Structure 1
Amino acid sequence: MANATGVLSWRKGQGFKEWEKVKLASPEVKRKADVAQLFFYDHYFDLLTYLSSRKARLSSFQQSVAARPSLTQPEVHAEWASYTGRERVVLRKRRTKLKLAQFHIVTQVGQGGYGEVFLARHKETNQVVALKKMKKRTLAKMDEIRHVLIERDILASTSSPWLVRLLYAFQDPEHVFLAMDFIAGGDFRTLLNNSGVLKEEHARFYISEMFSAVAELHKLGYIHRDLKPENFLIDTTGHIKLTDFGLAAGALNPGKIEHLKDKLDSVADSPLILRSTIEMKSLYKSIRMADARYADSVVGSPDYMAIETLRGQSYSYSVDYWSLGCILFEFLAGFPPFSGASPDETWLNLKNWQRVLRRPEYTRPEDLIFNLSDLGWDAITRLIAPKESRLSSMDDVKHHGFFAGVDWDGLRDRKAPFIPALDSEIDAGYFDDFSSEADMAKYAEVRDKQRAVDGVAERALDAKLARGVWVGFTFKAKKEADKALRERERAEGQQQQREEDEEEQLYTLF
């Protein structure tokens, strides 16, 4: 096929030309290839599984009839009609497209600039999910479509206990939906707000789990780039799960890179304010109390983002290790290493990070227990470091003295320092109450951002949305859904049996 029009033209024995290799290596082409492969694998696996199950059911029916030779012809016809009726129901369910109406919304548990998150229950399977709802037009306006597609791909491709799993992905003309595991313990920010400084043994436990979660993401070939305590959720057993993969998209939006770089470059070279540890801890706590959504703030600063990302330089997987170093610092100090009294002060601190990064020091006798050990401080300075000398692999981390004695393979088997107290599987007590005015005040800036986005000109969005960007988005984790359905059917069968037994007992009594 001619390549003058930009169409790939592989020839036997010749391979691809250089420009064709570049095009094939582009993130967009790779993603489409991955989606196509996942689609066909999923389609044929599901089809073959269905055919096998249908043959097994037919064989079981035939054996059941053959084992009862006393059945009359009308009785056989009646059983056959019943069997085929059940098969029609199964087939109809397979053809039914997933819709929002198939979920019962329990309550809202999250709010972002591009959509909302709800605690919901799938009506047929009874599965409890976190349902993320996003407007297609908003995503197109803000050039966020690719990030959502990548998040969907990551969620759909993992079965790791360290990463939140995708259960369903579907769409309607106006929205796209991601239904994920509901992680009932809330995010790690809530735990930090309640605990302040962590004991070093607890900090080691949680940061080890965070490293393990990030390592799973890296194995899939993705870099998170925007790690912060809010991205780590606490499950019902107190262990960590990583979420929010929107920026793990192969490359940051060029506009965002320029914005970050401009912010860093435009900071005035004013004198640094080197505050004491106690002052920093108190200052950061007051900022948090004044604005609980500080990290999600539109004008907030990237406290945990690696310096090479902010400078628009080339980066690797190690940018996530810088972020984890900042989180470890906050665990042990009670505040991020570069936070300031204002966003401008934080940007100035980031610009001069090597001078600002200092070991927290407590002098009052009652506070001495909060001082970092030498190994703890060394781990931090090996993570928050120039990319050339930074710890940049799991082997590097595991061999550092701070992590000596950590049973990496058995982390999830160990009892966590904190286990959420939950009343039921739909307990949303560790999330904001969206019916409370006080809690909603935290989202004022997020809502302002949404209104600003709604006011952005549409820029020929119809053409953009009509090009099939959402093809291949639909997903169903069939094993999990089928398992949940079987469990519900078994529970209903057991309940029916109990009711029949109770009726039998009543009958014998009378």
Structure 2
Amino acid sequence: MERVAAAKQFIENHYRTQMKNIKDRKERRWVLERKIASSDVSEEEQINLIKDLERKETEFMRLKRHKICVDDFELLTIIGRGAFGEVRLCREKKSSNIYAMKKLKKSEMLSRGQVEHVRAERNLLAEVASHCIVKLYYSFQDAEYLYLIMEYLPGGDVMTLLIREDTLTESVARFYIAQSVLAIESIHKHNYIHRDIKPDNLLLDKNGHMKLSDFGLCKPLDCTTLSAINENEAMDDENLRESMDVDGCFPDTDKGSRWKSPREQLQHWQMNRRKLIVHWKNHLKFPEEARLTPEAKDLIYRLLCDVEHRLGTGGADQIKVHPWFKDVVWDKLYEMEAAFKPEVNGELDTQNFLKFDELDPPTPARTGSGPSRKVILGWDYTAEPPTEGTGTPMLASSGDAMSP
């Protein structure tokens, strides 16, 4: 029955995609024809523009049929490791573009019942076109692993930033919390919930702008059931242990002991975070030396309180109009200079990530994407449609013009 369900889903997705491609192709032709009709160009030039679009459409379809495999990438430094696999810097051999490759072991995911989580992660990345979340460029699989090829954000994560800086000023915190609000809002608009929002999953690009990542625990929801979510089942301790993120497992660390490294500090924070938020009424205290403004304290209280009084239950606009954000220009956040600019020396720089040792030398599999990829997950990558005035389209997961 599982095989039948998987085959049914693959066929439905295939024909849904085909029909969407035909519709999109007709729409692109119609847009170009309207643009030509309203411009003062000769008949010969009009014919050439139409032919150029048709050539790009043909190239677009050719690229979509190309099967990507791990051999198309040069494997570089490991920048993350978790229970299901690792995240590694990689370079596409053909284009020399740099990406982050998330490599997930199939047997582990199947044994732990995580297939639906991975499918939801891939679908969200493919569906949501937003500059607030990490972009997906390719998805494929071989006999042993699933692969997500995503943009590489060399600025590291906000957790590492917090460890290095110890404390952020209110203005810096306001900037990144505001960008977090936009990121969460963008996935809620597509009827997904993240369920694992934490500093580790907020990544910085080379300019210091933040993007939301790691959707391994995200859940697709019908908009009619969005308000009926049971808070207590959203993230239990078992889900925390089996999270798809790449920050490792939860070690047995003595609560009173002092950590010796940033990694131990990170693990200590992860181990205790749920107990301290869940029991915020007993544990939340504002130290005098923090010098928080009344508006900041009010926002914290109104985000931690019981759901019937919680800010944001009526949508992101409730948070956006809070007095603490009064100087934030929401539609310009990603255009302005970031509140913090990370040190990044070149496209291969990994200084803003924790160091991981190689367990085994990287040995790329020699097989491309085969039938198994369709049976288990029904995955396929999509390509960026051709647009007027652009060159050969690159493979992508959404309509955004994507460049790493």
TM-score, structure 1 length as denominator? 0.56
- Of 118, 124, 129 in structure 2, the residue corresponding to residue 159 of structure 1 is 129
Map of 1:469 onto structure 2: 376
Taking the TM superposition and a 5 Å limit, the aligned residue runs for 1:23-422 are 39-44=14-19, 95-250=65-220, 257=236, 259=238, 287=258, 289-290=260-261, 292=263, 295=266, 300-301=270-271, 303=273, 347=275, 349-350=276-277, 352-362=279-289, 370-392=290-312, 393-422=315-344
Superposed displacement of residue 466, structure 1: 10
Give secondary structure in 2 for the equivalent of 1:478: coil
Distance in 2, Cα, partners of 1:175 & 1:229? 27
Q: Is the 8 A contact 1:171 1:474 kept in 2?
A: no
Distance in 2, Cα, partners of 1:466 & 1:234? 31
Question: Percent sequence identity over matched residues?
Answer: 31
Q: CA RMSD in A?
A: 4.4
Distance in 2, Cα, partners of 1:432 & 1:417? 22
Superposed displacement of residue 427, structure 1: 2.1
Which consecutive residues of structure 2, in runs of 5 or more, have no partner in the other structure?
29-43, 45-57, 221-228, 241-253, 361-371, 395-404
Paired letter, 1:414: M
Superposed displacement of residue 467, structure 1: 9.6
Q: Is the 8 A contact 2:155 2:208 kept in 1?
A: yes
* Comparing 171-180 and 352-361, the one that deviates more: 352-361
Superposed displacement of residue 350, structure 1: 4.9
Distance in 2, Cα, partners of 1:164 & 1:430? 17
Change (3 A) 1:49 1:381: closer
Superposed displacement of residue 401, structure 1: 1.0
Distance in 2, Cα, partners of 1:402 & 1:247? 30
Paired letter, 1:409: D
Give secondary structure in 2 for the equivalent of 1:468: helix
Change (3 A) 1:413 1:37: farther
Paired letter, 1:470: L
Superposed displacement of residue 432, structure 1: 2.5
**Total equivalences in the alignment:** 333
Q: Is the 8 A contact 2:141 2:373 kept in 1?
A: no
Paired letter, 2:92: H
Distance in 2, Cα, partners of 1:189 & 1:123? 32
Distance in 1, Cα, partners of 2:210 & 2:200? 11
Q: Is the 8 A contact 1:188 1:229 kept in 2?
A: yes
TM-score, structure 2 length as denominator? 0.69
Superposed displacement of residue 417, structure 1: 2.1
Q: Is the 8 A contact 1:125 1:484 kept in 2?
A: no
Distance in 1, Cα, partners of 2:235 & 2:357? 33
Q: Is the 8 A contact 2:155 2:206 kept in 1?
A: yes
Superposed displacement of residue 91, structure 1: 8.4
Distance in 2, Cα, partners of 1:247 & 1:258? 13
Q: 1:478 and 2:380 equivalent?
A: no
Distance in 1, Cα, partners of 2:335 & 2:169? 20
Q: Is the 8 A contact 2:121 2:218 kept in 1?
A: yes
Give secondary structure in 1 for the equivalent of 2:101: strand
Superposed displacement of residue 238, structure 1: 0.9
Give secondary structure in 1 for the equivalent of 2:100: strand
Distance in 2, Cα, partners of 1:126 & 1:373? 48
Give secondary structure in 2 for the equivalent of 1:475: coil
Q: Is the 8 A contact 1:162 1:216 kept in 2?
A: yes
Superposed displacement of residue 190, structure 1: 1.2
Distance in 2, Cα, partners of 1:416 & 1:254? 36
Choose between structure 1 and 2 for higher RCO, CA contacts under 8 A separated by at least 6 residues: 2
Distance in 2, Cα, partners of 1:169 & 1:136? 14
Superposed displacement of residue 424, structure 1: 2.1
Paired letter, 1:371: R
Paired letter, 2:306: P
Change (3 A) 1:243 1:381: same
- Where is the helix percentage greater, Structure 1 or Structure 2? 1
Superposed displacement of residue 93, structure 1: 6.2
Give secondary structure in 1 for the equivalent of 2:351: coil
Paired letter, 1:476: T
Paired letter, 2:116: R
Superposed displacement of residue 230, structure 1: 0.4
Superposed displacement of residue 51, structure 1: 11
Distance in 2, Cα, partners of 1:484 & 1:301? 49
Distance in 2, Cα, partners of 1:146 & 1:93? 28
Q: Deviations over 1:104-132 (max 9, x none)?
A: 11222111110011111222233321111
Which consecutive residues of structure 1, in runs of 5 or more, have no partner in the other structure?
6-27, 54-62, 64-87, 262-282, 306-346, 363-369, 441-446, 448-464, 488-510
